[in-house]
Chains A and B, each alone.
Chain A
Amino acid sequence: MNLSEFVWAAPEMTLLGLICVVLIADLFIDDDKRIVTFWLAMLSVGITALTVLWTDPGHGIVIFDGSYISDSLSQILKLGCALFVGIGFVYARDYLIANDLHKGEFYLLSLFGLLGMLIMISANSMLTMYLGLETLALSMYALVAIDRNNVVSAEAAMKYFVLGAIASGCLLYGISWIYGVTGSLQFHEIAAAIAADPGLNNLPLWFGLAFLIVGIAFKFGGVPFHMWLPDVYQGARTPVTLYLATAPKLAALALALRILVGGLGGLQDTWGQMVMIVAVLSLLVGNIVALAQTNIKRMLGYSTIAHVGFILLALFVGTEQGNAAALFYTLTYVVAAAGAFGVIILMSRGGFEAHNISDIKGLNERSPWFAAMMMLLMFSMAGIPPLVGFFGKLNVIAALLDANYTGLAILSVVASVIGAFYYLRVIWYMYFEAAEDQAVLQSGTDTRVVLSLNSLAVLALGIMPGWLWTLCVQVFAAS
């Protein structure tokens, strides 16, 4: 090992250092000055993002004896994670203050989670991946339970913890089988071992693979390993839900891409089938069950499952185009999800919690601007052009048709028509129903500006999707 290698891991190390600073500083900050912690956390996220930009790995650099990789995929995903954690902080702040939850722990746990995500994204070995995953998962369990007097939150956290531990166990068990068969934990060595000996492509490896898929599907929230997701989305306080719904999805994509494509790309025929089944089930179950939901966070939870179905469908194709489509879809979905939860947070102010879809009734009377923003987000998720969600779906359909999976392409669009209903229901409640209370939305100017920009981004990205798509294609063409 060479000391100069450390420079490539600068984002993680910087963030870790900054977390320590925030942690100690927060000890000496009074409750009424907690806003300082917010700014320190924002600063940490910003500096981390700048460090990511500063370390340009070119065509990819592997360091720490093959445990850590920095490449264009890690750059784009890390920037995404930092961005959405930062946006989440802005949305969360006023809500936390209003609900007497404004503690340093929220920011610290979120930052630790971000560290876990960065490690996952840059993992080049199973152990690094697992390390990052657990850092993220433990932070998220604690975040879900941050309102400790709230029974629902506590229940959600418990459920998440137990199921998450089982999923991690499955993943670790799968890793041990893969290690046993291929003799390595590093992705490129695993890939080389499989390429060198086709005889390895056999039952023991498939057995391990099945457990890996369970772990990955759990982290994504793919059916039938999705049971935790609606409960946790519903049970967690909304800023935590927003946190769960955005950046960790990018990390989960890295998990899938690094392990399945990077390490086990040679077994695409085998894992492709498993991923396809999970994807199809997610599309159908997510969309159909979401129809019946009355809790808006739960509904968005099932909607997430449906979107995960699209992402997994793109991964299943196994081509560079499919991978690029998965990346594009995840990035753009997360933009819309952040905005949607942002609007829910916005409506939850002043002790009132927006739980039910009916709570957004008549938003057009109360705030035409944010009703229009929410409409954009919902139509983007439903896949109406020219919003960016449409181009996400378009790329997935193109990848599917390119690989001659016409049936799956048709299935996916029909599933999204089913899904359109519950997005339309949100718009129906906002526009066609009278408001039940006329309270003016309270929120800081910065929240309003960020939320507006966030929502308009789905339109802007939809009008100019070319650059992002080119970027996504380049990520996989380079590697």
Chain B
Amino acid sequence: MSQHLLSILIWLPIFGGFALLAIGDAGDYKSARAGMMRNVALALSAVTFILSTGLYTGFDNAATGMQFIERMEWIASLGVHYYLGVDGISAPLILLTTFITPLVVIAGWDSIKTRPAQYFAAFLILEGLMIGVFAALDGILFYVFWEFMLVPMFLIIGVWGGANRIYATLKFFLYTFLGSVLMLVAFVYLYRQTGSFDLFGWMDAPLSMTAQKMIFIAFLAAFAVKVPMWPVHTWLPDAHVEAPTGGSVILAAIMLKMGGYGFIRLSLPIVPDGSEYFSGLMIALSLIAVAYIGLVALMQTDMKKLIAYSSIAHMGFVTLGFFLLWSIDGPTGAVLGMQGGMVQMISHGVISGAMFLCVGVLYDRMHSRQIADYGGVANTMPTFAAFMVLFAMANAGLPGTSGFVGEFMVIIASFKANFWFAFVAATTLILGAAYTLWMIKRVIYGEVANDNVARLTDLNRREFLVLAILAVSVLLLGLWPAPLVDMMNVTIEQLIETIGQSKL
């Protein structure tokens, strides 16, 4: 079975999702049939997670190259293969995906009142597609998963979102679509150069500097929108604010990682010289995201928007870590920067997911995301307050939480590159703490602000379970990140070696 593990992880949730769609719901979320749908969705996502642990236990940390490879012909006349495999970069991201999805299913348990079967089906299908993106090693296969992923998310935001959902979901779709079609043109160009859609073939192919620059820009269009990097980030706050809680969680925890993954899987190894040429720009954009977007986050009055901007700032660290490579002498610093970026991706996945779930818990009770509507929540929801403070601390990068590890590694690496890079990057320690803790102060602490807050009830068992699991993982990743770092170590060293070889 292990040789088909990746296929099972991809297709089990997708086919499960289609089965849910086919059976459908009676429309009433209280009906027994809707209840069965929820259980089936949870079971499917839980089974997927349990199966995915096989990726961790069966993973050889010392091996270079891909593992769990599956390869067969798909479209022979176009040179397209069904080619899957994971390495130290993609395996943790797949585990993150399978870990978050069941939590999202639980979080939507009874807060989704309309068409629950379609809702859960959309998340299951989305899960399979996201795993597919991380596992695909063929350009067209990658593109198919990458692009089709927009469809369930488009529907999740559009059907179950807030008041301004249609504007937000159209903006989300069109922004990302515009970015990805340019990537497609680059893919086809690479196909013409190498005669196949094999990502590794592309990594070996010599390319002229002009071609590399063009391809880098095309990839940048796709990945910068997804990360999102300043100045193409404006879709994200809209999408986050309007999306249902589950949609926000998946968006922040996993979909943003697609952009970072794209840079590290495609941009850097396929066009190393182009990446070097643009690395200054990338660092500048990343630092703008860290510092400027941090300031923007400070000014938000909507909790979801605040966390959305904080996501952009945190993702700035990821791109910063990836593109420090050429500013640092010696490989250790480069490895540190890249590892820091990767750890930051995983950790941000868990923390931002948890933050959005916390807002979701409040929203389900108060139907408001405005900070001003809250105050003194700790008095009525003490357990919840404890969790939210923990996640906020992690978001601010408190040592001992997972948020600290990645940021710290990237800051150290940027010190080795240039003092001023590190100086700007380190502003996040202040800004991050400021916007997160200020929000906590206004929402959680103080006197009970109004009657609505006074009537709040603390977490139910379901919410407690979800937040507790996330809290444990935040602490675990923060105190003992070694298993994660070990998993990606060899791959990253090998990757830096590949990037170091000019393709001109």
Contacts and interface: CB of A to CB of B under 8 A. Distances in A.
Interface in A93-136: none
A379 B173 CA distance: 12
A394 B77 contact: no
A379 B76 CA distance: 24
Given A386-B144, A421-B170, A431 B188 contact: no
Given A394-B184, A431-B155, A469 B174 contact: no
B75 A398 contact: no
B296 interface: no
A420 B151 CA distance: 12
Contacts of B189: 401, 406
B348 to A, nearest CB: 28
A385 B144 contact: yes
Interface residues of B, number: 36
Contact of A417 (B155, B159, B181): B181
Nearest to A472: B77
The dominant DSSP class at the B interface is helix
A397 B188 contact: yes
Contacts of B182: 410, 413
B22 to A, nearest CB: 9
Contact of A409 (B76, B177, B185, B191): B185
Contact of A428 (B74, B78, B166, B214): B166
Interface string B143-159: 11001101100110011
A432 B181 contact: no
A386 B146 CA distance: 10
Given A401-B192, A413-B181, A385 B78 contact: no
Given A414-B178, A466-B75, A385 B143 contact: yes
B311 to A, nearest CB: 25
A268 B185 CA distance: 25
Nearest to A432: B158
A209 to B, nearest CB: 30
B21 interface: yes
B177 A420 contact: yes
A384 B170 contact: no
B430 to A, nearest CB: 40
Given A379-B151, A469-B75, A432 B159 contact: yes
A14 to B, nearest CB: 33
A402 interface: yes
A409 B188 contact: yes
A266 interface: no
Given A397-B185, A401-B192, A424 B78 contact: no
Given A421-B174, A432-B165, A469-B75, A413 B185 contact: yes
A100 to B, nearest CB: 36
B191 A398 contact: yes
A431 B153 CA distance: 13
A452 to B, nearest CB: 13
A368 interface: yes
Nearest to B22: A369
B24 interface: yes
A424 B173 contact: yes
Interface string B82-115: 0000000000000000000000000000000000
Interface string B215-247: 000000000000000000000000000000000
The dominant DSSP class at the A interface is helix
B78 A469 contact: yes
A163 interface: no
A385 B147 contact: yes
Contacts of A470: 76-77
A432 B164 CA distance: 11
Interface in A168-191: none
A466 B78 contact: yes
Nearest to B181: A413
A274 interface: no
A428 B77 contact: no
Interface in A368-421: 368, 372, 379, 383-386, 390, 394, 397-398, 401-402, 406, 409-410, 413-414, 416-417, 420-421
A372 B21 contact: yes
A28 B181 CA distance: 57
A279 to B, nearest CB: 17
A406 to B, nearest CB: 7
Nearest to A429: B166
Contacts of A413: 181-182, 184-185
A440 to B, nearest CB: 15
Which 9 residue pairs are nearest across A and B when measured between Cβ atoms? A413-B181, A385-B144, A466-B75, A432-B158, A417-B178, A470-B77, A386-B144, A469-B77, A397-B188
Given A385-B147, A394-B78, 14 more contacts: A368-B118, A372-B21, A384-B147, A398-B191, A398-B192, A402-B192, A409-B185, A414-B178, A421-B170, A424-B174, A431-B155, A466-B75, A466-B76, A473-B77
Interface of B: 21, 24, 74-78, 118, 140, 143-144, 147-148, 150-151, 154-155, 158-159, 165-166, 169-170, 173-174, 177-178, 181-182, 184-185, 188-189, 191-192, 214
20 contacts: A368-B118, A384-B147, A385-B144, A390-B144, A394-B184, A394-B188, A397-B184, A398-B188, A409-B185, A410-B182, A410-B185, A413-B185, A427-B158, A428-B158, A432-B165, A464-B75, A469-B77, A469-B78, A470-B76, A470-B77
